[in-house]
């Protein structure tokens, strides 16, 4: 079959074939490293939620071959502790929205406890924002660097306050950060 082809063309064909194989190998290598790498800041992942610890922490496993399981802390919000007033209700809202469901998580950071921090999306809804809208969490202003972004989140919180939703039904709700300090 190759007897009629000149040696120069055989060498060119061989070199092209090698380039194509290198390209394919690199693509496969990139795909496999994406599937097996841990969560990285700035990346987005698909996960299945397997547990809800409280109103701002959940456990999920990535939809990859390794099924890596991790705790995720909701970015930009602080929900009441489970033992705090409205804590159980906040947890139930999160369970209703995401428990045993597939979610998309955009990792924003890793906290001091080693948990990944991210924005959780269920279909097209930003679950973090939904919790603030329902009055199930405070805006964690210290962690929102962009001024416009912070103002938008605070507007959502103020709207929930005015409508006396969720934890805002109480006349003097206590921020979880203050509650945690009181417990020490």
The residues, ordered by sequence, that sit 6+ positions from 162 with a Cβ below 8 Å of its Cβ are none
Answer yes or no: 3 catalytic: no
Residue recorded with tokens 């995401």: 98
Neighbours of 100 (CB within 10 A): 10
Q: Return the closest-CA partner of residue 135 out of 77, 177, 49, 53.
A: 77
Answer yes or no: 122 catalytic: no
Token code pair at residue 101: 């469901």
Token code pair at residue 180: 């945690």
Neighbours of 17 (CB within 10 A): 10
Which residue stretches of 51-175 are H helix?
A: 87-98, 127-133, 147-162
In angstroms, the CA 127 to CA 145 distance is 20
In angstroms, the CA 151 to CA 129 distance is 13
Answer yes or no: 130 catalytic: no
Q: Return the closest-CA partner of residue 94 out of 59, 64, 124, 63.
A: 59
| Catalytic member of 88, 89, 104, 115 | 115
Catalytic residues: 73, 81, 115
């Amino acid at each position: 079959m190759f007897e009629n082809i000149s040696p120069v063309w055989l060498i060119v064909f061989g070199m092209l074939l090698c380039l194509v194989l290198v390209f394919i190998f690199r693509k496969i290598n990139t795909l496999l490293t994406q599937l097996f790498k841990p969560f990285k800041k700035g990346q987005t992942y698909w996960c299945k939620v397997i547990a809800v610890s409280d109103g701002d922490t959940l456990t999920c496993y990535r939809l990859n071959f390794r099924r890596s399981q991790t705790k995720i802390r909701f970015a930009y919000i602080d929900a009441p502790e489970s033992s705090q007033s409205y804590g159980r209700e906040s947890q139930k809202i999160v369970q209703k929205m995401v428990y045993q469901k597939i979610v998309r998580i955009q990792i924003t950071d890793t906290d001091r406890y080693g948990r990944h921090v991210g924005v959780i999306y269920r279909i097209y809804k930003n679950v973090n924002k939904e919790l603030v809208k329902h009055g199930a969490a405070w805006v964690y202003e210290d962690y929102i660097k962009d001024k416009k972004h912070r103002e938008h989140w605070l507007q959502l919180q103020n709207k929930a306050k005015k409508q006396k939703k969720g934890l805002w039904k109480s006349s003097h709700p206590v921020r979880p950060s203050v509650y945690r300090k009181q417990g020490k």
